[in-house]
Amino acid sequence: MTDYHCHLLPCIDDGPASVDESIEMARLLSKAGYHTVYCTPHMIKGLYEADNDSVKKGISDLQEVLNRKGIALKLLHGREYFLDSNFMDYINDLMPLENTSYLLIEIPPHTYPGMVEDSLSAIKRQNLIPMLAHPERCELFFEKQVTDAPRKKASLKNLLQRINPSSRPLPPQKEVSDNKLLFWLIQNQFAFQSNLPSFKGIYGEKIQATARYLDSLGVYTHSGTDAHSLGGVNKLFGFDELQ
């Protein structure tokens, strides 16, 4: 299993506060069945601004320790870019997920679709594919808004099946409204990364419902833990309950 979104590096963002904590997180991720983890520290101007070389150095240092301790986990680099008005400052120095063309991006809670479309189009022009980090946590996609939006019930299901014939069909009782941004993202064949804690209800019912809804549409292409701490990993996999 590959974890496509994880804050495993120590002291670089709001992830683990020490190398020891990173090691224990890695140990538990391996125990949970992961063999590869993308280390994706935040890139948020004014808050977390480590440069790409620091991320790579942090990964090689941590990988060396894990190898020494016999923890079988391969670390790869990436970033989680915050799609605010400062994002364009980084457009010529973007770090996609290692060995891929995917760029992990987080849509801010208070934004508007036009800005999202402009920024993602700029990423495309860099020959990269935007990967939306945990869209189920973004209120633009909350299940209620998507399913209850009035009139013009364009068929997202048809669109999805045209683009990806193998995508799972919608539950029959659900009318799908035209969430234009969601339509646009699917049409452009961007990637969608779900957070495991969303499905487990760790962020609450609304996000869980949205995750299940987006999953029922078949939009998710990748999955991640978005783990930030040892406590978070313990909670996610129930290891603390086993002790």
Q: Are 236 and 202 in contact (CB under 8 A)?
A: yes
Instruction: Output the smallest distance, CB 42 to Fe ion, in A.
Output: 7
Query: Applying CB under 5 A, what is the total number of residues that bind Fe ion?
Result: 2
Shortest Å, Cβ 98 to Fe ion = 16
58 closest CA partner among 118, 90, 15: 15
Rounded to whole angstroms, the Cα distance separating 230 from 22 reads: 8
| 13 belongs to the binding site for Fe ion (CB under 5 A) | no
**Residue 221 φ/ψ, nearest 5 degrees:** -115, -25
Rounded CA separation 104/78 (Å) = 8
Smallest separation, CB 12 to Fe ion (Å): 12
Specify the residue, 9 or 176, whose C-beta has the smaller distance to Fe ion.
9
Of 80 and 156, nearer to Fe ion (C-beta) is: 80
Pattern 25-64, Fe ion, x by CB under 5 A: ----------------------------------------
Distance CA 238, CA 216 (A): 25
Site for Fe ion in 73-92 (CB under 5 A): 80
Residue among 9 and 156 whose Cβ is closer to Fe ion = 9
Residue nearest to Fe ion (CB): 226
What's the min distance (Å) between Cβ of 242 and Fe ion?
A: 26
Spell out the residues 6+ positions from residue 59 whose beta carbon is closer than 8 angstroms to its own: 9, 39, 75, 76, 77
Q: Which of 3, 80 has the CB closer to Fe ion? A: 80
CB of 83 to Fe ion, least distance (A): 13
Least CB distance to Fe ion at residue 80 (A): 5
- Stretch of 72-80, 93-101, 124-132, 194-202 lying at the interface with Fe ion (CB under 5 A): 72-80
* Cβ 203 to Fe ion shortest distance, Å: 12
Give the strands of the sheet with 129-133, arranged side by side. Answer: 42-43, 80-82, 102-106, 129-133, 191-195, 222-224
Distance CA 101, CA 127 (A): 8
Among 103, 226, 234, 236, binds Fe ion (CB under 5 A): 226
Nearer to Fe ion, 3 or 226 (CB): 226
DSSP state of 151: S
130 phi/psi in degrees, rounded to 5: -65, 135
Q: What residue type is 15 in one-letter code?
A: G
Question: Which residues would be at the binding site for Fe ion (CB under 5 A)?
Answer: 80, 226
